Amino acid sequence: MKIRAAAAQYDIGYLQNWREYEAKIILWVERAVAQGAQLLIFPEYFSLELTTLFGSEKEGNLSRQLAALQESLPNFLALFRQLAKAHQIYILAGTFPVRVAEGFRNRAHLLGPTVSLP
């Protein structure tokens, strides 16, 4: 069985709102799917682009940014889960700093049409 993979060299930018992020991710996914990709791989730390949504009071303060990112995690996972299901593909959604008992761990989530890990 052959699987066509697409690895993103993702451009980090400043976002105005969640809808802008959503539209950007949808465009990346749709382009890869149009080229026949079945496994999409986003890069490490690409989720940090979401910190641009938190305003200047958190800019330059990593601990505040990481804490604020936790509020975005459900929407982040839902977006990639929805796209994986809609296009019947697998997406390694890059890494996302997740709060654990010991602090934060950088986790990559694998999402598919019927399954999500971790």
The answer to whether the CB of 93 falls within 8 A of the CB of 81 is no
The pLDDT value recorded for residue 8 is: 79
Give the pLDDT band of residue 109 (cuts 50, 70, 90): very high
Please give the C-alpha separations between residue 69 and each of 23, 64, 84, in angstroms, as whole numbers: 19, 9, 22
| Mean pLDDT score, 17-46 | 95
pTM of the model: 0.89
Two structure tokens written together for 2: 């052959």
- Taking only the tens place, the pLDDT of each residue in 34-76 is 999 999 999 998 898 999 888 777 777 888 889 999 999 999 9
- Taking only the tens place, the pLDDT of each residue in 78-91 is 999 999 999 999 99
Rg (C-alpha) for the chain, rounded Å, is 14
Place of tokens 């929407």: 75
Spatial separation of the C-alpha atoms in residues 14 and 54, rounded to whole Å: 11
Spatial separation of the C-alpha atoms in residues 45 and 62, rounded to whole Å: 13
CATH number for position 43: 3.60.110.10
Percent of the chain whose pLDDT exceeds 90: 68
The pLDDT value recorded for residue 117 is: 61
Res 32 pLDDT > 80:
yes
- The number of domains in the chain is 1
Q: Name which residue leads in pLDDT, 2 or 37.
A: 37
What is the residue range of 86's domain? Answer: 5-117
